[in-house]
C-alpha cells in the first residue's frame, strides 16, 4: 500500500490509497483524477497518461523501458521527470509520492 | 430535443464505448437520470487485455473494470446488468428489456458492440470450441490452457495471433489455421505478415496458411480434432475461433434505424433518429481523413464516439477527431497502427524488416494512408500528425533513416 498524491495543473491535490501492483495510472483513472486519459488502458500504446514525478521518488522507480522512452519523446511538454503513469507500478516504497498531471494529454 | 428536455438517457452496452459515454455525460455536466443496460453480468470492463495480459494470467480480474462499483453509485447511474435490450419503441420513446422492464428515454445511446462471426461447420457446437470476445470466454479457456494442451486457432487475424502468443507463453502447443495465403492478409502488407509468421514460428507456433477446415471432430461431446479439406486431421484439446466480428445492429435495424454494415451515424454519433445515438464497434461512421464511411473495431473509436455522443447531447463541442489507431501485443513485440491502409497502392519500409524495429508506410495516389510500426513509436506517433496535416511527402524521405521522425514531423506536420 502507498499513498500517492496527484496534483493537477491548477495545483489541486488529491491523495489516494494505492495497492501494490496497481499502476499509478489505474489508481488515477478509477478515482477520476483529471488530466490523465490513458486511452489504451495501460498498454504503453498511446502516451496519454503522461505525468511529472516528484524528483525525490524518481530514483525509486524502475527505469523506463525503450518503448516508454520512445513514446514520451513525442509527448507534449516533456521534462526530465516525465514518465508514463501506466508504467509505474505501486509499491510500499512509493508511499508519499507526488505526481503532477499536465493540462492536456493531446 | 434540447438540453432542457433531456432528463433520462439510456446507454445500451457495457463495453468501452458505453462506459465512455457514461463517463463523458457526467463529466460534461449531465445531471439527469442515467441507465446502463448491459447483457454481460459485469461492470463495464476493458476488452484488449483479454487476449493478452489477462489470458496469460498477468492481470487480475478486478483490474479489468473501468470504474469500481462505487463510482456508479456516486455518479447516480442505474445498472441493469445481465439483461438484454429487446426492442426500441421509437414512437413512445420506450426501451423494452428482456426481463420485462420498460424504460422511457429522452435520448438513447446504442453501444452494443460486435459479436464473433460464427463458424458454420459441423462440430462447431462441441465443447472446447470457443470464441474470444468476452470475459466468460477467457475464464473458461484459461484453466484448460496448460503445458502441452493442443490448441488449434482458426483464423490468423490479430485476435487469433494474440491468443497464440499468450497460449505459447502458457506452454500450449499451438497451431494456427488460415484460409488466405498469409496471416493478417485482410489487414496488412506481406512484409508485416511475414514478420509475424516468422515471429510465431520462432516461438514454436505452427502456422498453416491456405488451408480450409472441413469440420471439427469430437469425442463424447468434446472437441478432439480438426479435419482439413485435404482430409488431414489435426488433434486438438481446444479450438479457438477468431474469424472476425459482426456488428450488433439488429436492435437498431428492427426499430427502423438506418443501417448498412453497422448502424449509420454522423460525426456526432447521431443515427437516423435524432434522439438515438450509437457509438463503438456497432457503428458505420464518417472517416473524415479518408472521405468515406466505414466501421472501426478499436478502442480509439469507442472512446472517441463515446465522447462525441456525450458532447452532442450536452450541446458542447466534441473532441477533435483523431486518425484511427490500433495496437497489438504479441510476445515482446508491440505493433502500433495509425491510419487505415486498406486500398493502398504501394508501401515503403523504413528500417530493417528482419530486425524487431521497423515500420511500413502505405500510400495511395501519393497520399499517406497509414503505418504499421513494429516497436517503433516515433513512426506511429508522427504518422498520425502527417495524416492530419495532409501534406504531400515523398515516400523516399520516410525510407531514409538518416532523417529522424522528429525531423520529418518538423518539416511536414508543423
Share of chain B above pLDDT 90, in %: 94
Chain B interface, best mutation among A21, A35, A43, A86, by max B CB count within 10 A: A43
pLDDT in tens, B204-216: 999 999 999 999 9
B26 pLDDT higher than 70? yes
Chain A touched by B320 (CB under 8 Å) = yes
* pLDDT at res. B320: 93
Chain A touched by B244 (CB under 8 Å) = no
Mean pLDDT of B60-69: 93
Q: What is the C-alpha separation between A53 and B338, in angstroms, rounded?
A: 29
**Tally of domains in chain A:** 1
* pLDDT at res. A47: 86
Q: Which residues form the domain of A38?
A: 2-105
- If you measure CA to CA, which chain B residue comes closest to A71? B377
Chain B interface, best mutation among A17, A40, A49, A84, by max B CB count within 10 A: A40
B3 pLDDT higher than 80? no
Strands B94-97 and B85-89: antiparallel
- Spatial CB neighbours of B391, under 8 Å, sequence gap ≥ 6: B412, B413
- Spatial CB neighbours of B184, under 8 Å, sequence gap ≥ 6: B156, B157, B158, B161, B192, B193, B196
* pLDDT at res. B318: 94
Cβ separation A67–B334 shorter than 8 A = yes
> What is the ipTM score, two decimals?
0.92
* pLDDT at res. A104: 82
Chain A touched by B66 (CB under 8 Å) = yes
B152 or B411, greater pLDDT: B152
* pLDDT at res. B351: 97
pTM of the model: 0.96
Phi and psi, residue B181, nearest 5°: -80, -10
B1 pLDDT higher than 80? no
Cβ separation A43–B375 shorter than 8 A = no
* pLDDT at res. B86: 98
Cβ separation A70–B378 shorter than 8 A = yes
Mean pLDDT of B295-313: 97
Chain A touched by B277 (CB under 8 Å) = no
pLDDT in tens, A13-53: 999 999 999 999 999 999 999 889 898 888 888 889 999 99
- A89: confidence class by pLDDT, cuts 50, 70, 90: very high
Task: Give me the CATH number covering residue A33.
Answer: 3.10.20.30
pLDDT in tens, A55-64: 999 999 999 9
What would the grid cell of residue B244 be?
472476425
- Name the CA dihedral angle for B255, B261, B267, B269, rounded to a multiple of 10 degrees: 40
Extended beta strands in B42-101, E state: 77-81, 85-89, 94-97
Distance from CA of A59 to the nearest CA of B (A): 25
* pLDDT at res. B394: 87
* 3-class secondary structure, B147: coil
Mean pLDDT score across all residues of chain B: 96
B348 pLDDT higher than 90? yes
Bridge-partner residues for B127, per DSSP?
B222
* pLDDT at res. B165: 97
Cβ separation A45–B334 shorter than 8 A = yes
* pLDDT at res. B393: 87
Chain B residues whose beta carbon lies within 8 Å of the beta carbon of residue A46: 325, 327
Q: Residue A70, Cα to own-chain centre: how many angstroms?
A: 16
Mean pLDDT of B222-237: 98
Amino acid at each position: 500500500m502507498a499513498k500517492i498524491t496527484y496534483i493537477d495543473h491548477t495545483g489541486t491535490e488529491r491523495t489516494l490509497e494505492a495497492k501494490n501492483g496497481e499502476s499509478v495510472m489505474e489508481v488515477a483513472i478509477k478515482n477520476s483524477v483529471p488530466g490523465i486519459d490513458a486511452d489504451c488502458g495501460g498498454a504503453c500504446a498511446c502516451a496519454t497518461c503522461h505525468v511529472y514525478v516528484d524528483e525525490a521518488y524518481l530514483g525509486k522507480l524502475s527505469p523506463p523501458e525503450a518503448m516508454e522512452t520512445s513514446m514520451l519523446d513525442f509527448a507534449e511538454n516533456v521534462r526530465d521527470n516525465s514518465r508514463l503513469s501506466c508504467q509505474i507500478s505501486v509499491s510500499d516504497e512509493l508511499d508519499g509520492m507526488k505526481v503532477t498531471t499536465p493540462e492536456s494529454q493531446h | 430535443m434540447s438540453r432542457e428536455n433531456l432528463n433520462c438517457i439510456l446507454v445500451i452496452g457495457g463495453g468501452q464505448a458505453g462506459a465512455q459515454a457514461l463517463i463523458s455525460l457526467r463529466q460534461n455536466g449531465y445531471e439527469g437520470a442515467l441507465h446502463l443496460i448491459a447483457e454481460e453480468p459485469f461492470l463495464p470492463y476493458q476488452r484488449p487485455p483479454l487476449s493478452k495480459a489477462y489470458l496469460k494470467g498477468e492481470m487480475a480480474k478486478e483490474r479489468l473494470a473501468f470504474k469500481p462499483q462505487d463510482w456508479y453509485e456516486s455518479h447516480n447511474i442505474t445498472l441493469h446488468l445481465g439483461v438484454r435490450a429487446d426492442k426500441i419503441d421509437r414512437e413512445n420513446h420506450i426501451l423494452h428489456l428482456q426481463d420485462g422492464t420498460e424504460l422511457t428515454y429522452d435520448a438513447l445511446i446504442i453501444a452494443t458492440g460486435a459479436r464473433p462471426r460464427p463458424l458454420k461447420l459441423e462440430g462447431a457446437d462441441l465443447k472446447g470450441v470457443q470464441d474470444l470476445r468476452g470475459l466468460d470466454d477467457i475464464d473458461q479457456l484459461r484453466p484448460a490452457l496448460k503445458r502441452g494442451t493442443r490448441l488449434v486457432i482458426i483464423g490468423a487475424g490479430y485476435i487469433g495471433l494474440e491468443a497464440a502468443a499468450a497460449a505459447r507463453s502458457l506452454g500450449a502447443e499451438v497451431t494456427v489455421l488460415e484460409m488466405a495465403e498469409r496471416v493478417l492478409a485482410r489487414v496488412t502488407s506481406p512484409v508485416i505478415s511475414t514478420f509475424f509468421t516468422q515471429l510465431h514460428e520462432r516461438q514454436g507456433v505452427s502456422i498453416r496458411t491456405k488451408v480450409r477446415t472441413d469440420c471439427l471432430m469430437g469425442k463424447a461431446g468434446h472437441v478432439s480434432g480438426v479435419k482439413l479439406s485435404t482430409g488431414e486431421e489435426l488433434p486438438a484439446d481446444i479450438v479457438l475461433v477468431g474469424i472476425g466480428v459482426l456488428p450488433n445492429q439488429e436492435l437498431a435495424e428492427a426499430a427502423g434505424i438506418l443501417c448498412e454494415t453497422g448502424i449509420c451515424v454522423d460525426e456526432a454519433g447521431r443515427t437516423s433518429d435524432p434522439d438515438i445515438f450509437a457509438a463503438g464497434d456497432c457503428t458505420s461512421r464518417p472517416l473524415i481523413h479518408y472521405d468515406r464511411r466505414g466501421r472501426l473495431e478499436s478502442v480509439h473509436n469507442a472512446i472517441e464516439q463515446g465522447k462525441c455522443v456525450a458532447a452532442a447531447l450536452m450541446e458542447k463541442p466534441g473532441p477533435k477527431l483523431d486518425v484511427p489507431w490500433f495496437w497489438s501485443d504479441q510476445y515482446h513485440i508491440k505493433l502500433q497502427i495509425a491510419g487505415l491502409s486498406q486500398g493502398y497502392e504501394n508501401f515503403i519500409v523504413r528500417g530493417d524488416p528482419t530486425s524487431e524495429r521497423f515500420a511500413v508506410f502505405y500510400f495511395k495516389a501519393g497520399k499517406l494512408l497509414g503505418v504499421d510500426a513494429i516497436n517503433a513509436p516515433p513512426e506511429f506517433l508522427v504518422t498520425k500528425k502527417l495524416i492530419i496535416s495532409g501534406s504531400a511527402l515523398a515516400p523516399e524521405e520516410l525510407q531514409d533513416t538518416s532523417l529522424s521522425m522528429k525531423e520529418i514531423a518538423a518539416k511536414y506536420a508543423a
